[in-house]
Structure 1
Amino acid sequence: MTTTVARKNSSERQRFGTTTYSIDFTNNNDQFTAEIYNAVTVSDTVVLETLYLSKEVKTLQVQNSSAILENNTSEIYFQMGMALAFIGFGSFFLRKAYYTNKNYRYIIIVSLISFFSLIRIITLNC
């Protein structure tokens, strides 16, 4: 996807001492590493490689440059943790004997969605 940088924003969290670097494009936005944040300026034309469903930026290339910058913000670990937490809680609650059939269906559906989400996250990022 070819787009232009509309706005750059960095915010620092005093509590944890971390800085978040956000770049807004004309039709997308995402968080990036400091290297990518410093490599682009507002109104630069860039080529983005995005994931199909989540529109998460995987790589970024400034149009006049041959360097391809990979976006590695470690969001994958949070997403995998959430999927594993839902699967873990689902398997824990399935062991209880006092739920109705409707409750069991909800637990199984959430666990299956989490399982397929985990598979999707692993296949898209590896």
Structure 2
Amino acid sequence: MVVVGAGLAGARTVLELRAQGFTGRITVLGAEDVAPYDRPPLSKHLLDRPAPAWLSDELGADALALADDVRLGARATGLRVRPEGVGVLLGRGGDAAEVDADAVVVATGAAAVLPPAWSAALTLHTAADAVRLR
């Protein structure tokens, strides 16, 4: 099982898989280089809370500790469907790595798309965005 996305949905997926008795291998791929954190406090506490609210604290359990393989800073760029399973692509072109899976959960969330004329606009979606805005 590969869970693409290390945010709240990805963490809850890992927790629920283990709670339901799934004993197979779980790999979590997260695009950001930091451990999963709760996103709403990024905007609500931008100035008074310098560190993210870590999901392990918020959920009372460390979902990543329940996974067999956690790859932070690993941005999934595509899926390759084959008769024997699915490959999650990391990177593009000839340098793309592939993570094999029997099943994939896509829990990537969303990102803002800005019109080209708004190149100076800032968004607040990640911990890195919050640091930049401070």
TM-score range, shorter chain: under 0.3
TM-score, with length taken from structure 2: 0.23
Larger Cα Rg: Structure 1 or Structure 2?
1
Higher helix share: 1
TM-score, with length taken from structure 1: 0.24
